[in-house]
Amino acid sequence: MSIIESGNVAAALGVKLCRANVIAAYPITPQTPLTEKLSELVESGEMNAEYIPVESEHSALGVCIAASSTGARAFTATSANGLLYMHEQLHWAAGARLPIVMCVANRGVGAPWTVWNDQQDSLSQRDTGWIQLYAADHQEIINTVIKAYYVAEQTSIPVMVCYDGYILSHTHMPFEVPDQEKVDAFLPPFRPNYALDPSMPANLNTVTLPEPRNNIRGELAHGYMELRYLLHEGMIRAIEVVGEAEQRFNEIFSVSGTAYMDMYKCDDATYIAVAMGSLSLHLRVVADILRDEGIKLGIIGIKLYRPFPCGIVADALKDRDGIIVMEKAISYGYVGPLYSDICSCLYTQGLDGPSPGFPYVHNYILGLGGRTIRTIDLMDAIRPICTGKRIKDQPGWIGLKI
């Protein structure tokens, strides 16, 4: 079924199709219409779930942690400072290996206050142990929510589905709503390896000591470091699981999506611009215009950011003349986080340093706090690099008025 709706509604319909059992909701712009839509679906009887309004984002994720610990399929959503308020609980959910799915409608963080879009909120939480997926349009939002539950439940790792506030959350675009029967075939009922049961009381995630110790049954149990190692290994395995999810999804729904990145006009490209979210689609317009000028520019939109599919990204970028990384976030005092990851991946593909195909890589920061991103400014930033200029200052800023 094809409909025209907002990105928040696309996300809500994805949650409904996944038959989530528990929804924890606290309003924050621009994600609020998502949970409002879910409340309507529950109230109307179209969705069989417990809808729990809470007093804060910290409590929202706390509810999801409790629900997931009992074997329920749990969901919440947030933005910006709401996500930051969850920070402690983000670590807890990942450390407890709970397959929660959360949508993040990306928004700049305060102070000063802004309600407009950038990606600083979710990218600042990249080391909390959550898988992070980024959607570029409404179809990707609904599809990614469905795939996120599959990945979360296969890996026992929580997943963030991130999409740009207002640019995607509030705009209306056409998208296909998958059939419920096919979603049920793709995503079977959640069967956790262990869940809390009143008939079998247990303590979960008790205090650990520096070294492994015997549990109450006399069995040697993992210590804190081993549990962190296993979470890291689970994240690495998640790269393969994301690929498996994409393949199954494509087969069941008869579509041809990609798991890790979307590539546009990259086959013959000598230069590649890389971004995440809706900016990657905006850059396609730039590529089309610059190709009319004889500049062979390709575009890559990163979809899986954590765990970062290093080898796959490096393979797509090797042997190019240059890479331009455009991002709506900054690691203060250094560079953009995506730029840092890409440079690391390209460097480590060689055994003793940069591989022979190590390209020139430049970083641009743009769009912070919803600053307008003009096509002409993107072209003016990219064109000199694609015609041989090598800029030393890292990072560059587009649209800065100082």
Provide the CATH number for the domain around residue 348: 3.40.50.920
Provide the CATH number for the domain around residue 24: 3.40.50.970
Within a domain: residue 280? yes
Please report which helix (H) or strand (E) contains residue 280, including its range: helix 279-292
Q: What is the pLDDT along the chain (402 residues), one digit of tens a residue?
A: 999 999 999 999 999 999 999 999 999 999 999 999 999 999 999 999 999 999 999 999 999 999 999 999 999 999 999 999 999 999 999 999 999 999 999 999 999 999 999 999 999 999 999 999 999 999 999 999 999 999 999 999 999 999 999 999 999 999 999 999 999 999 999 998 888 888 888 888 888 888 998 888 889 989 999 999 999 999 999 999 999 999 999 999 999 999 999 999 999 999 999 999 999 999 999 999 999 999 999 999 999 999 999 999 999 998 899 999 999 999 999 999 999 999 999 988 754 444 555 789 999 999 999 999 999 999 999 999 999 999 988 899 999 998
Q: Check whether residue 164 and residue 73 sit in a common domain.
A: yes
Within a domain: residue 294? yes
For tokens 């007093």, what's the residue?
Answer: 55
Within a domain: residue 129? yes
For tokens 């991946």, what's the residue?
Answer: 345
Within a domain: residue 315? yes
Within a domain: residue 208? no
Within a domain: residue 148? yes
- Domain ranges, residue 312: 261-397
Within a domain: residue 204? no
- Rounded Cα distance, 148 and 153, in Å: 8
Domain edge (last residue) among 186, 203, 230: 186
Within a domain: residue 88? yes
Q: Check whether residue 158 and residue 268 sit in a common domain.
A: no
How many domains is the chain built from? 2
Q: Check whether residue 37 and residue 181 sit in a common domain.
A: yes
Q: What are phi and psi of 364, to 5 degrees?
A: -125, 135
Return the DSSP state at 374.
-
Q: Check whether residue 20 and residue 151 sit in a common domain.
A: yes
Q: Check whether residue 282 and residue 390 sit in a common domain.
A: yes
Q: What are phi and psi of 60, to 5 degrees?
A: -60, -45
Burial status of residue 401 (CB atoms within 10 A of its CB: 0-12, 13-18, 19 or more): exposed
